[in-house]
Amino acid sequence: MKKYNKNGQLEAVICNSCGKKLVVDKGIVREGAMAIDHAWDYFSEKDGQVHHFDLCEECYDEITAEFKIPVDVEEQLELL
């Protein structure tokens, strides 16, 4: 869950799974995190809804470790 100040700068990121407050410095998240923004479509029970949440790296690892089919990982050649 992201929180912004009145100027629109990122102020805090809290993991929706464990509640951990992630380190944010000058509007930049300074540790591993994943942001999900998903718009559900016609063939779901959530048609018309958009869900937003954030996960810390530890929760991401726990959740994906339970997948029957592992996450497809690709190495980036150039880091931004």
Q: What size, in residues, is the chain?
A: 80
**Is 58 a member of any domain?**
yes
> SS3 letters for 7-18?
CCCEEEEECCCC
> SS3 letters for the chain?
CEEECCCCCEEEEECCCCCCEECEECCEECCCEEEEEEECCCCCCCCCCEEEEEEEHHHHHHHHHCCCCCCCCCCCCCCC
**Is 79 a member of any domain?**
no
* pLDDT at position 72: 97
Domain that holds residue 38: 2-65
Is it the case that residue 78 has pLDDT exceeding 90? no
Per-residue pLDDT tens digits for 10-57: 999 999 999 999 999 999 999 999 999 999 999 999 999 999 999 999
Q: How many domains would you assign to the chain?
A: 1
**Is 31 a member of any domain?**
yes
* pLDDT at position 22: 97
The pTM score is 0.85
